[in-house]
Structure 1
Amino acid sequence: MKRLFCMAVVLFSCVQVWAQDIDSLISNRSLTLVTDPMHILSVDEKKKLETKLAKFDDQTSTQIAVVLIKTLDGRDIEEVSLNLFNTWGIGQKEWNNGLLVLAAIQDRKVRIQVGTGLEPTIPNDTAARIIRDDIVPAFKASNYYEGLNKATNSLMKLARTAFPPQIDSTKADTTPVGNNNASISNAAITSHSNGQLLPAKAEGPYRAAADNWILFSALAIGLVSIAAFVYKKLGHKKTVG
């Protein structure tokens, strides 16, 4: 039975690794404006941040998405953020006015990806300042929500009047976006808290990614059941012999 328990733990760990896979994250557009597959934010924190960003999305034509991951798995943060931004289609297609805040907690790296339409409003030095002043101090204290809340407030303040509201409901094109980024070098990023996915928004460019979690869970349960059956059979044969 101890062996079966160990097998179950290994299988569950594999499911978590698959769910964290960067390519899978990129190819499956998020259901909400806050994507937190590792549950770094609490339920309440994620809900408050999502509500704020959804309201801003509804009131303006600028869309801000936040993505929290455990690690980049050795990938370049610029490459990952560009792929996420363009594949998910953050912002309005006509104006390319989306914003993406990507944080890799274990790697201590953060990047603010700015659509070309917002680059005059949020240039490289401004994005770097927001990371340095709003995100880094909070992340060093493991206050991830505080850092993201302050950073998104700063971005919203700058971007609020950059474009007229509700220009277009289609997603942004795949024109390469800006190169605004910075890394957290000394943040003590260790603690994680629980959270969950929010219900789908009625509108927006995102489609559900929850099916993948269901598939992973079903696969894990199936593998554990097979392992239990095999273990039982082997144990029976050993007893008979």
Structure 2
Amino acid sequence: MNLAMKSSWMNKIHLFIVLLLTATGLRAQNIPDPMVPYRLVNDFAGLFSTAERTSLEQKLLAYHDSTSTQIYVVTVNDLGGYPPSDYAFRLGEKWGVGQKSKNNGAVILIKPKVGNSRGQAFIATGYGLEARINDAYAGRIVRNEMIPYFMEDDYFGGVNAAVDAMIDRLSGEFTADKKEEDGISPLAIIIIIVVLVLFIVLFRGGGDQHIDSEGHGRSNVP
């Protein structure tokens, strides 16, 4: 291969890499940042009324506070060329949904029917939730709980039913971390001290070593 041919191939490879990185960067820009201030219901498509958003937000926050599991509801008008599953998982990674140590986050993604475009819905769950909600079960929630409401243009009803189904399915999977569980409680320390003091008193009062009939040393200490 002469230098001219080698240079031509190198230019083509370089161009391919540039185009690939550009396309990847453009697609990444299609994933929005979370709304500010922080919230679990990110209604970019404007599907819910204020009362509906508040109701969902309160339910999801209460569930997060009691279990540490984060369920995000995200609505968008455009998936930016992604399949709904890819979009939901990428969004979850970008936003850091769920606790990193437990991977217990979930994203309920809704893209409504706009014009001639097809409506889409998908539930993405972290590895920590897959024992209870795997892909097959998530798909069942979409089909059985969400779609019937969506067909009546009741997006809130569908999402609310999906959230309830997920909470029921995940019941008992995680509990919120408590500071008291990080170490021994003060009451436990007091009980231990009292037991040790009683043990020492009893040992000194009735545990003197003596010789039995066979001449072997014996003590009350096991």
Partner of 2:90: 83
Q: 2:30, 2:61 → 1: CA distance? A: 21
Partner of 2:31: 26
- After superposition, residues 1-241 of structure 1 pair within 5 angstroms as 23=28, 26=31, 28-30=33-35, 31-106=38-113, 107-166=118-177
> What RMSD in Å do the two structures reach over aligned CA positions?
2.0
Deviations 1:121-175 (A, max 9, x none): 112221111111100000000000000000000101112311222379xxxxxxx
Amino acid at match of 2:101: E
Q: Which runs of 4+ in 1 moved over 2 A?
A: 21-27
Q: 2:177, 2:30 → 1: CA distance? A: 27
5+ long unaligned stretches in structure 2 = 1-25, 180-222
How many residues align? The count is 148
Q: 2:140, 2:27 → 1: CA distance? A: 27
Amino acid at match of 2:31: I
Q: Secondary structure at the match of 2:161?
A: helix
- TM score, norm. by length of structure 1: 0.57
Deviation, 1:70, is 1.3
- TM score, norm. by length of structure 2: 0.62
Contact in 2 for aligned 1:62/1:159 (Cα 8 Å): no
Q: Which structure has more RCO (C-alpha within 8 Å, separation ≥ 6)?
A: 1
Q: 1:24, 1:32 → 2: CA distance? A: 21
Distance 1:97 1:87, change over 3 A: same
Contact in 2 for aligned 1:65/1:99 (Cα 8 Å): yes
Deviation, 1:27, is 5.0
5+ long unaligned stretches in structure 1 = 1-20, 169-241
